[in-house]
Amino acid sequence: MKKSVLTLIFFSIVTIVFAQDDAITKYFSKYDNDENFTHVTVTSRMFGLFANLDSEDQEDQELLDAISKVKGLRIIAKDDISTDEANALYKEAFKLIPTAQYDELMTVKDKESDMKFLIKEEGGIITELLMVIHGNNEFFLLSLIGDIDLKQISRLSKSMSIDGFEHLENIDKN
């Protein structure tokens, strides 16, 4: 029941708007009115609501605490596209990402897709996580802002079956 409530709450988050002033925002803005893309935005207010929830389970409470520190989420995705279009969107995203400000955390490649995780750190705290994916028929860019606990984010996404985030489980093993 608790996981269902958490999943429902997180799914509800996906309908709210937030803004961020940087190259990533410019990329999102460029395609903001393009109905061929799926857009997901979430505000810090929605994530802050988690701070008011109580849980009897210590593990669930830790997850709620981690989520309440997230300030925003933004996703742009396009599927059912040509490989050339997916490649072009991927290359364009990396032209706009100020790579000097981000560290590559992990790359996952297979015959169907190329996925990169990048993080921005300030004072030893992860303040942004980027996930960029392109494959034969899709492009996906996610920006997660806040004080990010990768283990908790991975756990949450696992319960919700968010593609790509399951790879974050391997971070502590490396």
Query: pLDDT for 89-116, tens place per residue?
Result: 999 998 888 878 899 989 999 888 899 9
State the pTM of this model: 0.73
81 occurs within a structural domain? yes
Whether residue 171 is predicted with pLDDT greater than 50 in this model: the reply is yes
106 occurs within a structural domain? yes
Range of the domain at 106: 2-162
Whether residue 140 is predicted with pLDDT greater than 80 in this model: the reply is yes
167 occurs within a structural domain? no
171 occurs within a structural domain? no
Q: How far apart are CA 68 and CA 14, in angstroms?
A: 15
- State the residue for tokens 């606990």: 149
169 occurs within a structural domain? no
pLDDT of residue 66: 74
Q: How far apart are CA 112 and CA 89, in angstroms?
A: 16
172 occurs within a structural domain? no
170 occurs within a structural domain? no
- For 6-44, the pLDDT digits (tens) are 444 444 443 333 333 466 788 888 888 899 999 988 888
Best CA proximity match to 131, nearest among 77, 57, 173, 62:
77
Best CA proximity match to 14, nearest among 74, 65, 69:
74
46 occurs within a structural domain? yes
- Counting the structural domains of the chain, the total is 1
Q: What DSSP letter does each residue of the chain carry, written as one string?
A: -HHHHHHHHHHHHTB------SHHHHHHHHTTT-TTSEEEEE-HHHHHGGGG---SSHHHHHHHHHHHTEEEEEEEEEES--HHHHHHHHHHHHHHS-GGG-EEEEEEE-SSEEEEEEEEEETTEEEEEEEEEEESSEEEEEEEEES--HHHHHHHHHHHT-TTGGGGGGTTT-
